[in-house]
Amino acid sequence: MPIVLAPARILKTKARRVGAEDRAKVAALVPHLFATMYHAPGIGLAAPQVGVGLAVTVIDLMPNEKPAPLVLINPKVVAASSELATREEGCLSLPGQYAEITRPAQVTVGYQDLEGEERRVEADGLLAACLQHEIDHLNGVLFIDHLSALKRNIILRRLAKERRQKETQPA
């Protein structure tokens, strides 16, 4: 699936909660999300990043180079530590752009699995940052929205310039 690039409107729009009537659509979508994420390559992808406005995200940190896929439907941070952690983040919708982002160091996320069962995951480190990043996508928030207006605008201008250069290059 093609990845939607910033500043596309869907990336700034809150995704709709998945209901029982959406289960078949989500079950069909999830393998495409994983395939797109792995091909990119990335470690997380939210449905809005492929133009689907549903609250679905997939994550795979590939611990020890082995797949460990995680599907989160209607995820929500239900607890977050007061301790903060800063790490470099990037985004498949802002290719080649990175920035230091500060977020809670540990989070507990409630979500539904593909069968609709309620689940929870407690995370710290990279998984905590990735969960928060992907949940942000479902709320219409990009990682650059955590930066100052100046830093955000620099990144968006750089991205637009790179896009223009690619468009004018001969095939």
Catalytic residues: 134
Give the phi and the psi of residue 154 in degrees, each rounded to 5. -60, -45
Could you say which DSSP state residue 150 is in?
A: H
First to last CA, the chain: 22
* Distance from C-alpha of 147 to C-alpha of 44, rounded to nearest angstrom: 20
Cα separation, 6 vs 4, in Å, equals 7
Alpha-carbon gap, residue 132 to 70, rounded angstroms: 14
Please give the Cα distance from 35 to 45 (Å, whole number): 10
The strand pair at 94-104 and 106-112 is best described as unpaired
Q: How far apart are CA 167 and CA 72, in angstroms?
A: 35
